[in-house]
Amino acid sequence: MEQQSTIQNELRILTAKELGSVLKIGRDKAYALIRSKGFPSICIGKRYIVTEKALNEWLQQYEHKHFVV
């Protein structure tokens, strides 16, 4: 049980709504970004998610670039 708790603490998962909130963009833009090529999202059924770690790495990679969705 302790190992599962550690994994949850290390791996925060964001939904499209939470992603939009974090990036200060609307829901439609968040979904467009999640579906775009090169964005580190995971599709499970009809639900898209992104890990906070993958988002931070992606932001660092694109911090000086113009990204259009």
What residues does each domain of the chain span?
A: 2-61
Q: 10-68, pLDDT tens digit by residue?
A: 689 999 999 999 999 999 999 999 999 999 999 999 999 999 999 999 999 988 877 67
The rounded distance, in Å, linking the Cα atoms of 32 and 14 is 15
pLDDT band for position 6 (cuts 50, 70, 90): low
CATH fold for the domain made of 2-61: Molybdopterin biosynthesis moea protein, domain 2 (3.90.105)
- pLDDT on residue 4: 58
CB-count exposure of residue 11 (10 Å: 0-12, 13-18, 19+):
exposed
- pLDDT on residue 50: 97
